[in-house]
Structure 1
């Protein structure tokens, strides 16, 4: 972002592109680093880089925020940068060009270095006034503006450019005092004003933001449950101590200013450790041991330190030192450490149990917060509240026919290479079967370990496969084994069906649904009716009908029979935007005749037969 050259990432071929970092000087050590990153450009760097090193600079500061550099950092942590500019100096087109440049650098980081990087173009005056935009993508919108600024100040790491003036003032500075000190500095020479920028003060957190912050954290939990557990707990602790608690960023600033008083202990200035200590103290005091234990597990797993057995012999870092100190204080047994370190090999029921504990805590915490602040005026915009509320409804609310979202503890790691589908006679419904899906290839059903491999049971095999695909449990690479009782359903037919489902109803993340779709009424976007799913291919009659459909709010439904299909007639054929509609049945000599019979019975204009 400091240069704009065709041989380097982020090049924008437009003379109006703003670029260049203020107070960022060319040094030999920097030149060497650039050569290491771009060895193919060594000659260009050594001979010409000063020619395209910018004389005019557009970017005031670049700062890193979040868990990076703390005990909360993991191998999966994103790199979230604030790219601060004086928005009044540039046109909307120029800012758009800079945003495009930043996106190109993000893409380069991911493609070349497998790093997830986000650049947030931040206008200094807007940040100062707590204006962080709308609740879409990575932005918290109006839901928690002061909370976001507080977190930024607590976790920011200077990369280049101007330093936030906030760091210079005492931790107890009021907003009025802060403004006065800024004005005084502008008229002086020491410290030099050109080295600082005004992003605003954080005197206290705003109680009226709690509702927005709470629903935002629950919605983020769909992607990062561990992080949201700790942050949601932080909101509850803040509300309990509303009259006495200072913002964490101000406590940290005091410790940084007087670091020697804290025995130069890294834990004393680690924002993640500070937050965690506050949470443990609160939930221990109120006697909620289940939450205390959950928080401990979440921190330890997220840290990825793995202190058991041979894992304990590893490179010593400030993070391993801090986590080891926690574990020793908690008196955890070697067996417990080994169990947590082996989390990638947990059976599905254990992983699901942890995920359910996490989501139960989040919802419980949200309800407790809601009951305490019902009468308080909240700052969240109606549109932001609507967007986030509809995400929560899609993810958590159970409805007839709805394929349930798996309440996972982790965003990854549940995709299986092998599954086994089993069918048994349902003794409670003569002539019906009970279907179940298991992790791995199961050949010996009397094995004691089989029960721990069970993923889900259902009265309908199509629903079972839908649930697996929808929740990223299986995909086209998964090997599927079926037992003899599953006939006429075969492994080949299921593999083909999984491929069709992936194309028709690809797994989605609720948190990624565009804002404009969530602000509009829910509508059906795609529909698949399957005929004779459990019948032999050579059957000439129409025996069963089951319809799966997805909505613009990210919900997937599965309903059986002609009556259920009739209920969808208006949404399928008379909507302003007609959804994609497909019909599937076995490839057989009777396929077209069965399809025609289906259209005649429904009196619906289906066209796409697959």
Structure 2
């Protein structure tokens, strides 16, 4: 009688394991189905490159360390061999004699994918984010260093040969168990949102090779004591065998102390990926509103997997993103925010990029299309609504900006709403991380005198204009302004012209700089200049674009080094544009616009000769001294204007070539 409860526990664990394995297999099949054919073999090739270390294969590291490669429970299956033959056709002999490269020892306990891969959110541009899980006690510093070099080499190979972003996060199992994630992606995900990151991992993970997280086998509503009681009940050689699993720790609730750090983290992420962040920020707000009632999403997902979604055959229909989205819509519908509901629906649909208005053969209908079609049907969308979103690649810049502004407005609104409900002195984000994250947000969002604003848009690949028109207008108060329009708008007036407007500025210098810094134009853009822009010429504009692109190119705020953001702000480069819209016949300095960019990623455009006097001390004291340039439009007086400027400025400025 005494052994009966033990048998029941083992049977329950085995049943759960079978359903988890079925779900994991379905996620792998989805991931491969959604990959472009030319990238599909990489799903098998990348784990293989971590498993072996051969000088003729990418990722080879010549190191004395004995243990820095080899995947636990990794076998040479036919699909792996087929993929290797496709990617490395020159190495058939090597793969036919696989024993010669097969490792005797294994350094990596598990290779696990997380993120959008294998979900409805997977796209052709989805990154491959792998956790490389290791037992830190078994690896010395030399092994870990060699492994890290191997991982970087494979990342570089995947990008250079397949233009695919692969990121390996070397994860010590014990540290993950204790919610210590160290510094990741430029800031510490650990201090900002350790438990949130673990929850995200549990929600989206796919075990590619090696051990599975034991978390998958415990019931959704389990205490930490029950978690370890079940783990300790496993017996070696039994089924399930404890050697099949790794203990990454229990998770039964999220930590409200991490909420502020998680919120500013998502605001930072939204700078590059607003469609993803708008859903995740909404998820944080829903968590705060349902703190006492709701389980973490990962546990709700696990419950569905364990129950086979009420029928074993339906386990493959469970999707982390669809489940999250159901939760979000239910909340915002309940609090009667129809505009938010529509915004979230549009963001999910655009991110998933299913193109439902385009018919496909029945054999080409993926799980993603089935799920999105089901959602759209529930929402009651019309064909014209769907077609409009499917046609977003042809939207005007004005339409793109309108949606992007709604997204960023919602993000800021969520952030402020959550901040008002949190005890700020009780948040776990470290002071250093807070400084870095806060500085990034200030750079991107804040409005300051003379500062060039970032175009807050989630369509970087759709912003560029191959043709723009520049016009000068006189406002009712007599002020002259300059405007940029996409495409050929010469002779176009009224509403049609306004629909094509990109930006307006008080000077052509500021207008051109804004367009360059926000990736709207570059040196390849054809610029059409309206007739009423004298003395500014087409050549002046092209010369300015060329120099702006080299000196003040587009800034990726999330790529600014952490060290720079923790250090005092310094001027990085400075440029004076002289006499751009004034007469070219006089040898005097009549008009000056000073542009400078900082180590914090901000760019300023300051009109007036006196602006240089205000910058003199910063330019003088910066170490190293920032490069200073001067641009003077082509004219017979160009050299004399330059000399007059230098005499007055008392600074070293390099005269830029006109052509």
Once the two structures are superposed, residues 577-604 of structure 1 have per-residue CA deviations (whole angstroms, 9 ceiling, x without a partner) of 3212111213444333222221222333
> What is the root-mean-square deviation of aligned Cα atoms in Å?
1.9
Q: Distance in 2 between matches of 1:219 and 1:313?
A: 41
Q: Partner residue of 1:32? A: 82
| Match status 1:454 vs 2:504 | no
Which of 415, 434, 448 is the aligned partner of 2:464?
A: 415
Larger mean CA deviation between 105-114 and 600-609 belongs to: 600-609
Q: Partner residue of 1:276? A: 325
Q: Partner residue of 2:438? A: 389
Which of 499, 513, 516 is the aligned partner of 1:466?
A: 513
Deviation at 1:5, TM superposition (A): 0.9
**TM-score, scaled to structure 2:** 0.89
Once the two structures are superposed, residues 518-574 of structure 1 have per-residue CA deviations (whole angstroms, 9 ceiling, x without a partner) of 111111111111111113544322111101111111111000112222111111112
Q: Partner residue of 2:381? A: 332
Larger mean CA deviation between 487-496 and 473-482 belongs to: 487-496
1:185-196 alignment, distance < 5 Å: 185=234, 189-196=238-245
Change (3 A) 1:84 1:135: closer
1:151-162 alignment, distance < 5 Å: 151-162=200-211
Q: Partner residue of 1:506? A: 553
Q: Distance in 2 between matches of 1:135 and 1:404?
A: 28
Deviation at 1:178, TM superposition (A): 1.7
Q: Partner residue of 1:287? A: 336
Which of 323, 340, 343 is the aligned partner of 2:372?
A: 323
Q: Distance in 2 between matches of 1:489 and 1:289?
A: 49
Gaps of 5+ in 2: 1-49
Change (3 A) 1:595 1:127: same
Equivalent residues of 1:356, 1:409 under 8 A apart: no
Q: Distance in 2 between matches of 1:33 and 1:313?
A: 27
Which of 13, 16, 19 is the aligned partner of 2:69?
A: 19
Gaps of 5+ in 1: none
1:96-495 alignment, distance < 5 Å: 96-134=145-183, 136-137=185-186, 140-185=189-234, 189-261=238-310, 264-265=313-314, 269-308=318-357, 310=359, 315-375=364-424, 377-429=426-478, 433-446=480-493, 449-495=496-542
Aligned length: 607
Equivalent residues of 1:136, 1:514 under 8 A apart: no
Change (3 A) 1:139 1:324: farther
Q: Distance in 1 between matches of 2:602 and 2:530?
A: 31
Which of 541, 548, 552 is the aligned partner of 2:588?
A: 541
Which of 602, 607, 617 is the aligned partner of 1:560?
A: 607
Q: Distance in 1 between matches of 2:244 and 2:474?
A: 76
Once the two structures are superposed, residues 3-25 of structure 1 have per-residue CA deviations (whole angstroms, 9 ceiling, x without a partner) of 11111111112232611111112
Deviation at 1:309, TM superposition (A): 5.0
Larger mean CA deviation between 392-401 and 522-531 belongs to: 522-531
Q: Distance in 2 between matches of 1:443 and 1:81?
A: 51
Q: Partner residue of 1:577? A: 624
Deviation at 1:185, TM superposition (A): 2.7
Q: Distance in 2 between matches of 1:388 and 1:438?
A: 34
Deviation at 1:138, TM superposition (A): 7.8
Q: Distance in 2 between matches of 1:531 and 1:113?
A: 46
Equivalent residues of 1:581, 1:608 under 8 A apart: no
Equivalent residues of 2:467, 2:526 under 8 A apart: yes
Equivalent residues of 2:110, 2:211 under 8 A apart: yes
Deviation at 1:475, TM superposition (A): 0.9
Larger mean CA deviation between 313-322 and 68-77 belongs to: 313-322
Q: Distance in 2 between matches of 1:250 and 1:94?
A: 35
**TM-score, scaled to structure 1:** 0.96
Equivalent residues of 2:70, 2:105 under 8 A apart: yes
Equivalent residues of 1:267, 1:274 under 8 A apart: no
Q: Partner residue of 2:51? A: 2
Q: Partner residue of 1:62? A: 111
Q: Partner residue of 1:44? A: 94
Equivalent residues of 1:266, 1:318 under 8 A apart: no
Deviation at 1:118, TM superposition (A): 1.0
Secondary structure of 2:81's aligned partner: helix
Larger mean CA deviation between 470-479 and 210-219 belongs to: 470-479
Q: Distance in 2 between matches of 1:89 and 1:566?
A: 61
Larger mean CA deviation between 78-87 and 212-221 belongs to: 78-87
Deviation at 1:427, TM superposition (A): 4.2
Deviation at 1:262, TM superposition (A): 5.1
Deviation at 1:435, TM superposition (A): 0.6
Deviation at 1:355, TM superposition (A): 0.3
Equivalent residues of 2:628, 2:652 under 8 A apart: no
Larger mean CA deviation between 181-190 and 568-577 belongs to: 181-190
Deviation at 1:58, TM superposition (A): 0.7
Q: Partner residue of 2:10? A: none
Deviation at 1:96, TM superposition (A): 2.3
Q: Partner residue of 1:73? A: 122
